[in-house]
Amino acid sequence: MLRFLLLFSRQGKLRLQKWFTPVTEREKKKVIREMTLMVLARPPRSCNFLHWRDLKIVYKRYASLYFCCGLEDQDNELLTLEVLHRYVELLDKYFGNVCELDIIFNFEKAYFILDEFLMGGEILETSKTAVGIAMEEAETLQEVTPPPPPPPLTHTHGHLSLTHLPKYVNMFSVLFTDNGGVYE
Amino acid sequence: MSPSVRLQEMIRVIRGARTQGEERGVIQRECAAIRAQFRQADNGTRSHNLAKLLYVHMLGYPAHFGQMECVRLIASPRYNEKRVGYLGAMMLLDEKQDASLLITNSIKNDLSHSSQYVQSLALCTLACMGSAEMCRDLAPEIDRLLRASNSYIKKKAALCAVHMVRKVPELGELFTPAARSLLSEKNHGVLHGAVVLITELCERNPDTLEQFRKVVPELVLMMKGLVMSGYSPEHNVAGISDPFLQVRILRLLRILGRNNDTASDAMNDLLAQVATNTDSSKTAGSAVLYETVLTVMDIKSESGLRVLAVNILGRFLLNNDRNIRYISMTSLQKIVQTDHNAVQRHRGTIVDCLKDQDASVKRRALELSLALVSAVNIRSLMKELLLFLSSCPPELRAHTTSGIFNAAERYAPSQRWHIDTILHVLTTAGGDVRDETVPNLIQLITTATELHCYTVHKLYRALITDISVQSLVQVACWCIGEYGDLLLRGECEETEPVQVTEDDVLDALETVLQSHMSSPATRGFALTATMKLSTRITHNVDRIRSIVSIYGSCIDVELQQRAVEYNALFKKYDHMRAAVLERMPVIDKSSPGHTNGESAGGTIKELEPTKLTQEIVFPQEPSNQVCDLLDLLGGSGEPFQPSPSLSSTAPGPASSTAGGDLLDLLGGLDVTPAPPSVTVYEKNGVTLKLQTDTQTDTGMTVTLTATNSTDGDITGLTLQAAVPKSVQLQMKAPSGDVIPAHGLGQVTQTVLLNNPNKVSLKIRVRVCYTSQSSVCQDTVQIDSFPSTAW
């Protein structure tokens, strides 16, 4: 089973963390720090597998984000690379040309997608389309019961729409040139 | 307007903060607002506030005050609030928090909710952070869902059951029937969950494993269907149909086929088919092949199939993709013991991988190469390993050197080759070798009697080139000291002899003595070597005498001690010098505790008198000579007066490095370590240390050592000791009653204790002394002793 899944940027900022075993806050921070240090120190065209404590670490870089997970001894590392790739594909399908900003500003959606794909450290759904369908239906369910309108904003800033924000490099398009073009 | 704009706005503001302090300020304000909102009644913004809190939590700030809000939101009837509540529960709560128990009831209700999406939220959260009690409570619910629900819920219930079995293994029995029936489902998600569940059940319970062996044919059919099926857009990954499910099935087959012939037979054909038909040009195919190979090697497969598997691994080794090479080496490592010959065939490729750029690949290649060393390939493989050592990354060096030494020891084709190899390693990576290397090498050299000339020549050449590698220098000094006469003779069969004069040799040793690069241990070696040469050379004995007397006032106490004793050997005991410094006999490595030459045949071993431990054995020497030697220490008339029972509290690091203690050369690894000393009293610049040495079952020797770090001498020092009633105490005469200033000398006193009743030992010591014309008296009680006495 997977023990944890972390997403962090090139600068070491955490974008998503999923822990599949009970871990104390202190231990979580420690693991995050060590993973970040280890993975960011790797040269560009190196092997995607590492050994750390008694776990195997598999990481993959997509544009500006590193996807890093810890596996147990029995798990298949090559398959985990495929798992990471599948997750990126799901994000891409949902957000449409996903980039790091999408994951930052819609982190709860990223978690919901993850929860439809992995559970308890194991793969939940192997079909490419089923996860997307489940997300859509959940969204409709969410809209069916609309919340009452929010009270007036107490912030001093005005509303800013997201179109003002610059889009970072599209994560998915970089897939084709990353790591010597391993994927189709 | 989408409600989550407010969340996104907060994120924008936080990201806009230019400094860490500014960010903290923004977050503190937001958290205060969120806390205020939590306290208010329901106003429809609760989910947004919790979402904001979760973002703040991800940045690393404390968010525990949101735990109760999670509980409240989970209980809400609205789906979007439930969703965020459950997400919060998964992020903020774990089984150690008390609040997690409060959501058990909500989860239970939601598991029977009419909407499958609410059910799925509950299942997901339960599988993520369900504690053992929660699992026990809700297991029947999960079992119900496993049987009667749609496939969307079934697959989630299956993985939830997996979590439960991991937490509470007894629940496995409850889920076994349901798991069996799930195998007939069509939905891949459910099948995958079922296979994972069955794997988990079989791993934990051997009876269940027996039961599930019957489904092997069913699994084989399922697998065949996947492999032979046509293109399925939903499940296809790079030409492989649902590799995730394929890998899981293979893993389950591995567990079922292990140690069982019938099951293994049933899957032989399938495995051969998968191995030959799977396209491994992309990672997905390679993943399936990899799992197949692991399964083949683990079950009782036919030899043909095993050969096929090893060949696949060999093919992987030649793949351009580093990941695949890494994987194949990991697998080969697992099977190198059992299928040694098969792996040997790929030795060439493995050795090539030593030259790979990637550190992970290098490491794997190193481990595998070391495992492949055998008597047949030792020469060629060692060449490669030595080449690797010269360019390997620093974190691998220690491992490489120890691996090389092990291999050389087991398979060395000749002694000369062995010595050459070790010398090569010392020259290349002498800083990364283990401490035992020096005595081991010395022992090896002494056994290779025909090669003494050759060895000393080689080492001399190495010494004059470079004196920075301590281990090499130590061995070289020892050899020159021991076999210097062979060096000076100027003839050698095995290698070109050097034409050196005695002065050249002494120059080399003196360079080592004076160099800043030499560690104290190395200098000890050099000094002793110089001394030994005094019997092996003819003309420059005076030079040696002068070197030795210079070091009689060296600051390093260890060197000073040696020099003083060697000086005495020149002056008072010159008649014994030749015998003392004679050539050493061959050291027998296997005899334990030969600290003083129990293996010797009648010659006095070269003694380092201060290192005498209580187990002195003096074979066949007249006792008066023995006593004279011991007297060497008492009668030398130097201010420094070590007592004979002073066991090796050798100052400085000399005793800790294995090579520094001359006695260690004889014994190698078996010298009893210096007992630790404890500072029991420290006042007015006077330090009193206590050291224990357990001699017999009930008897113990305690040595008290007093040193003085003030500017003036301490005079009139007396030590008195008191012990519990049943313990017998005998205090020996102190070595003196004046402690010189500035730590230049010390006073020791030995106390013999006999504890026949083995009571817990306490000793009270009264210290009296005069310091700077004032009398001081102090009492110290020592309750615990540093050595593992009783």
* 10-residue mean pLDDT series, chain B (790 residues): 66 90 91 88 80 91 89 90 93 82 90 92 93 92 90 94 94 93 92 95 93 93 89 87 94 93 92 91 93 93 89 90 91 86 87 86 90 89 90 87 89 88 87 84 84 86 86 89 83 77 86 87 89 84 86 87 88 82 75 39 39 37 42 39 37 39 43 63 82 74 82 80 82 81 80 80 83 80 62
As given in the structure block, the two tokens for residue B33 are 């607002």
Contacts of B358 in chain A (CB under 8 A): 45-47
Distances (CA, A) of B425 to B380, B416, B429, B517, B595: 16, 14, 6, 20, 28
Contacts of A141 in chain B (CB under 8 A): 79, 115, 117
The Cα of A181 is separated from the nearest Cα of chain B by a number of Å equal to: 10
Could A83 and B244 be called an inter-chain contact, meaning their C-beta atoms sit closer than 8 Å? yes
pLDDT of residue A147: 53
pLDDT of residue B615: 34
Write a three-state SS string for B573-588: CHHHHHHHCCCCCCCC
CB pairs under 8 A between A and B: 189
Q: In chain B, which residue's Cα lies nearest the Cα of A132?
A: B234
pLDDT of residue A108: 92
pLDDT of residue B657: 40
Could A153 and B44 be called an inter-chain contact, meaning their C-beta atoms sit closer than 8 Å? no
pLDDT of residue A171: 57
**Contact by Cβ (8 Å): A79, B291:** yes
Give yes or no for residue A156 having a pLDDT over 50.
no
B590: alpha, beta or left, given left = phi > 0 and alpha = psi -120 to 50? alpha
ipTM: 0.82
Of the candidates B85, B128, B80, the residue with the CA atom closest to the CA atom of residue B106: B85
pLDDT of residue B6: 82
Contacts of B4 in chain A (CB under 8 A): 106, 108
Q: In chain B, which residue's Cα lies nearest the Cα of A60?
A: B323
**Contact by Cβ (8 Å): A132, A93:** yes
Q: In chain A, which residue's Cα lies nearest the Cα of B3?
A: A150
Contacts of A157 in chain B (CB under 8 A): 9, 13
Q: Concatenated DSSP letters for B227-247?
A: HH----TTTEETTEE-HHHHH
pLDDT of residue A162: 40
- Inform me whether the C-beta atom of residue B235 falls under 8 Å from chain A C-beta atoms: yes
Mean pLDDT (whole number) for A25-29: 91
**Contact by Cβ (8 Å): B125, B107:** yes
pLDDT of residue A33: 95
pLDDT of residue B744: 75
pLDDT of residue B643: 38
**Contact by Cβ (8 Å): B594, B585:** no
Contacts of A87 in chain B (CB under 8 A): none
- Inform me whether the C-beta atom of residue B243 falls under 8 Å from chain A C-beta atoms: yes
Contacts of B417-425 with C-beta under 8 Å, sequence gap 24+, read B417/B379, B418/B444, B419/B444, B419/B445, B419/B448, B419/B451, B419/B455, B419/B458, B420/B458, B421/B382, B421/B386, B423/B458, B423/B459, B423/B462, B423/B472, B424/B386, B425/B386, B425/B389, B425/B401
Give yes or no for residue A177 having a pLDDT over 60.
no
Distance between CA B4 and CA B19 in Å, rounded? Answer: 26
**Does residue A70 sit in helix, strand or coil?**
strand
pLDDT of residue B40: 82
pLDDT of residue A173: 54
The Cα of B25 is separated from the nearest Cα of chain A by a number of Å equal to: 14
Instruction: Name the band, by pLDDT with cuts 50, 70 and 90, for residue A11.
Output: very high
pLDDT of residue A104: 93
